[in-house]
Amino acid sequence: MPSINNSINITHILRLCVKRIQRARVILLGSLPNRCLLCQQRIDQMDYEQLFANQVLTGVCQVCLAASLYQHEVCLGCGREIALLQAYCGKCLKHTPNVVVAPCSYHQGLGPLIAAIKYQQQCAPLNAITQQLACRIALLIKHGIIRRPQVLIPVPLHPNRLRQRGFNQAWLIAKQLSRLTGIPLDDSCLTRVVDTEPQTGLAGKQRRKNCHGAFQLQAEIRYQRVALIDDVVTTGTTVDEISRLFNAQFVHVQTWCLARAEAPGLLD
For 12-64, write each residue's pLDDT tens digit: 666 666 556 555 444 444 444 588 999 999 988 877 766 777 678 899 999 99
Residue type, 263: A
* pLDDT above 80: residue 1: no
Q: Which pLDDT does position 4 carry in this prediction? A: 56
Which of 219, 258, 263 minimizes the C-alpha distance to 237?
263
DSSP conformation class of 60 = S
Q: Which pLDDT does position 8 carry in this prediction? A: 59
Q: Does domain 73-260 have CATH number 3.40.50?
A: yes
Which segments within 40-141 are labelled E, that is strand? 73-74, 81-82, 99-101
Could you tell me if 87 and 143 are in contact, meaning their C-beta atoms sit under 8 angstroms apart?
Answer: no
**Percentage of the chain surpassing pLDDT 70?**
79
Three-state DSSP class for 260?
strand
Q: Which pLDDT does position 257 carry in this prediction? A: 97
pLDDT band at 149 (very low <50, low <70, confident <90, very high): very high
Which of 155, 157, 243 minimizes the C-alpha distance to 198?
157
Could you tell me if 228 and 153 are in contact, meaning their C-beta atoms sit under 8 angstroms apart?
Answer: yes
CA distances from 85 to 66, 82, 88, 140, 195 (A): 19, 8, 9, 8, 39
Three-state DSSP class for 238?
helix
Which of 136, 174, 183 minimizes the C-alpha distance to 155?
174
pLDDT band at 267 (very low <50, low <70, confident <90, very high): low
Give the total residue count for the chain.
Answer: 268
DSSP of 151-213, one letter per residue?
EEEEPPPPHHHHHHHSS-HHHHHHHHHHHHH---B--SSEEE-S-PPP-TT--HHHHHHHHTT
Averaged pLDDT of the chain: 85
CA gap 258, 108 in Å, rounded? 13
Q: Which pLDDT does position 202 carry in this prediction? A: 55
* pLDDT above 60: residue 80: yes
Dump pLDDT digits (tens) for 151-197.
999 999 999 989 988 999 999 999 999 999 999 999 999 999 887 76
Which of 229, 118, 222 minimizes the C-alpha distance to 180?
229
Ramachandran angles phi, psi of 56, nearest 5°: -110, 135
Q: Which pLDDT does position 212 carry in this prediction? A: 74
Residue type, 58: T
Could you tell me if 153 and 174 are in contact, meaning their C-beta atoms sit under 8 angstroms apart?
Answer: yes
